[in-house]
Amino acid sequence: MISSRFVLKRLLLLVPVLVGVASLVFSILHLSPGDPALTIAGERASEEFVKQVEESLGLNDPIWVQYGRFIADAAQFQFGESFIIQRNTTVREVLVNKLPVTLELAIYGQLIGVFLGIPLGILSAVKQDSITDHLTRIGALAGISVPIFWSGPLLILLFAQVLGVLPTSGRISVLYNVEAIRVTGLVTVDTLIAGEWDMFVSAVRHMILPASVIGVYSMALISRMMRSSMLEVIRQDYIRTARAKGQGAKITVLKHGFRNAMIPVITVIGIQFGGLLGGAVLTETVFAIGGIGTLLVEAIKVGDYPIVQGTVLTFAFLFTLVNLGVDITYSILDPRIEQ
């Protein structure tokens, strides 16, 4: 049972983390070159118009006033309107549209990683130094070593161009209007809720390649971690005792070994998920999926500061939430961690 004190303590830690990230974002944006007012007004704009824009954005106020306003707005998750990428649209609206795209990709990628990585890691540990172990380790090493910008186009070439069984890009076929049935923003879930089977199949087919690309990378790390953790656990005295008492090998590993071996793996899964959110930029670019990662890169390129601030803080918030989940899972697996 998780104590509410433990969860509260972890939740309270979110506050300094988010204030810290907000301060870093604010300072980096102010130290980087470029004038947001000039970016909005355009290089040919008159000096008077640039001053008007500065006034409307509050850039004429002293920097500490801007900092205080920024922290107060960030606490309410209000970053104003996008300057360039989607003019006259609030950052919150932009993020609400884009975040589910990246989340969906990261969730499916992580599911592939977890459901393949954990069994492979256990198999590799139990059958140490066998041909299965060697093949799994080679596969894991290849998964970690092959960069997404190379494996992505290769998979597109094989499955889309040569075999022609999967689509190359996008989230769903252009024949369907997914906005009409939007509920969660996750295409596979929305199509399922609407009971549109053809759309659902199309969404799943579009998701297979990008999710596999990031899933394989995640799987490789998880299986390696699971293998080393399981190897350590199955050498413990209590496992030997369980075997000596006549318990079957499979039950010993799954009942006694698995739970203890999962503790370090949970950390990797948590960190991986945060990494998948940020690392989805490459996958989104390769498969032409317009998610939050691509949005952030675009916003940095064109100097759309409100979008940059909102996106980075969203990433930080999600990352800390995932870590909170990891901490809670820890305390379920090993209640001593709460102490």
DSSP 129: T
Smallest gap from Cβ 328 to other proteins, in A, equals 13
Contact pick of 8, 24, 72, 111 for other proteins (by CB under 8 A) = 24
Gap between the terminal Cα atoms of the chain: 13
Q: Judged by CB under 8 A, does residue 154 bind other proteins?
A: no
Those residues whose C-beta lies under 8 Å from the C-beta of residue 201, and which sit 6 or more positions away, are none
d(CA 319, CA 312): 10
Contact pick of 13, 38, 160, 166 for other proteins (by CB under 8 A) = 13
- H helices present in 252-291, as ranges: 258-286
* Residue number with CB closer to other proteins (77 or 150): 77
* Residue number with CB closer to other proteins (54 or 284): 54
Contact pick of 67, 159, 176, 317 for other proteins (by CB under 8 A) = 67
Binding range to other proteins, per CB under 8 A, among 58-66, 168-176, 206-214, 237-245: 58-66
Binding range to other proteins, per CB under 8 A, among 18-26, 79-87, 181-189, 282-290: 18-26
Amino acid at 8: L
Residue of 73, 84, 100, 61 whose CA lies nearest to 309: 73
Distances (CA, A) of 238 to 116, 234, 241, 243, 253: 27, 9, 5, 9, 11
Binding range to other proteins, per CB under 8 A, among 14-22, 77-85, 254-262, 297-305: 14-22
Contact pick of 3, 20, 96, 197 for other proteins (by CB under 8 A) = 20
* Residue number with CB closer to other proteins (35 or 198): 35
Q: Judged by CB under 8 A, does residue 31 bind other proteins?
A: yes
Residue of 131, 151, 127 whose CA lies nearest to 217: 151
Phi first, then psi: what are they for 268, rounded to 5°?
-60, -40
Contact pick of 2, 6, 7, 23 for other proteins (by CB under 8 A) = 23
**Footprint of other proteins on residues 316-335 (CB under 8 A)?**
323, 327
d(CA 319, CA 303): 24
**Tokens representing residue 161 in the block:** 């161009």
Q: Judged by CB under 8 A, does residue 63 bind other proteins?
A: yes
The residues that touch other proteins, with contacts defined as CB under 8 A, are: 10, 13, 16-17, 19-28, 30-31, 62-64, 67, 323, 327
